Structure 1
Amino acid sequence: MPEPHDSGLTHLDASGAARMVDVSAKEVTARTATATGTVLVAPEVVAALRSGEVPKGDALAVARIAGIQGAKRTPDLVPLCHPIAVHGVDVAVEVVERGVDISATVRTADRTGVEMEALTCVMAAALGLVDMVKALDPEAVVTDVRVEEKTGGKTGYWRRSR
């Protein structure tokens, strides 16, 4: 197996080409990651979501299911992600004044973390929501998608400081 490139980046081989990192020697530990994001929509969409009158149907339920599917399909979408066993996904969607806040927590017991799965979960939920409301608000915006905290692995607990 090629050694990491001189840059110290683990996803590059000796020639600088992208590679998937070998995690087989890493310890299996329980790991979690939580990510959040927001879909900004027009006030009319907020009202339709609150009243359950989105023409395409239950937009919040679709967003939750899309998020779960996104978490499970992350390695198919992000080229260097390892396929791991996703043991649990919690997706929360909350209608707020400016749109919908999304929070996702993904859990596994594996050799690598689930940060990308949590981020993909939030993005897929957001895209599912946008698809459901685009006829009401073609200007909906997905924003502020980020990892909030993670547990497990060599680094243990980490939480966003800002």
Structure 2
Amino acid sequence: MSEARMIDISEKSYSLRTAIAEGFIKLKNTTIERIRKGDVEKGDVISVAKVAGILAAKRTPELLPMCHPIPIEYITVNLNIENEGIRVVTEVKAYYKTGVEMEALVSTSTALLTIWDMVKKYEKDENGQYPDTVISEVKVIKKTKLVS
């Protein structure tokens, strides 16, 4: 039986680490229009999703058991409304011994899930299903390590 353990980073040096992640949620055109007009019953989808993404990045080690707690120094969550949905792009920075790509991915994923939660009422079909709603393309698009 294999043991579970965090990776030993005690010998690694501190450096500025950054990661940018993105993802996309496909939505109905009518839902996109509601978001643009601010006509969503649960509130301002864009603002709430941004805050949820920031909070999620800070709580990543609570969700991913082998992830090191990292002193995050910067998080930004940008949401861009496109023709078929919303693209979320998250950037995370920390001066630490290990990368921040998991924090960026958790932030992006949580922002996308928050959008879905806030608009699910408008995305359901007559059977209560979500045939058009899809979260996709969640990935790290850039990761850097700046050695000083």
- Is 1:88 the counterpart of 2:74? The answer is yes
Identity, % of aligned positions = 39
Match of 1:148 in 2: 141
Unaligned runs of 5+ in 1: 1-14, 155-162
Report the count of equivalent residues: 140
Match of 1:7 in 2: none
Amino acid at match of 2:3: A
For residues 55-106 of structure 1, the C-alpha deviation after alignment (integer angstroms, 9 at most, x for no partner) is 2110111100010011000001111100010111010001111110000000
Contact 1:68 1:91 in 2 (8 A): yes
Runs of 4+ in 1 over 4 A off after TM superposition: none
TM-score, normalized by length of structure 1?
0.83
Q: Write the distance in 1 (CA, Å) between the matches of 2:135 and 2:63.
A: 18
For residues 101-131 of structure 1, the C-alpha deviation after alignment (integer angstroms, 9 at most, x for no partner) is 0000000000000000000000010111111
Query: Aligned runs of 1:62-101 on 2, under 5 Å?
Result: 62-101=48-87
Q: Write the distance in 2 (CA, Å) between the matches of 1:95 and 1:148.
A: 19
| Higher RCO, Cα 8 Å, sep 6+ | 2
Contact 1:113 1:153 in 2 (8 A): no
CA shift in 2, pair 1:77/1:153, >3 Å: farther
Match of 1:159 in 2: none
Contact 1:27 1:153 in 2 (8 A): no
Unaligned runs of 5+ in 2: 125-129
Match of 2:43 in 1: 57
Shift of 1:17: 2.1
Higher strand share goes to which structure? 2
- Selected match of 1:44 from 15, 22, 30: 30
Higher helix share goes to which structure? 2
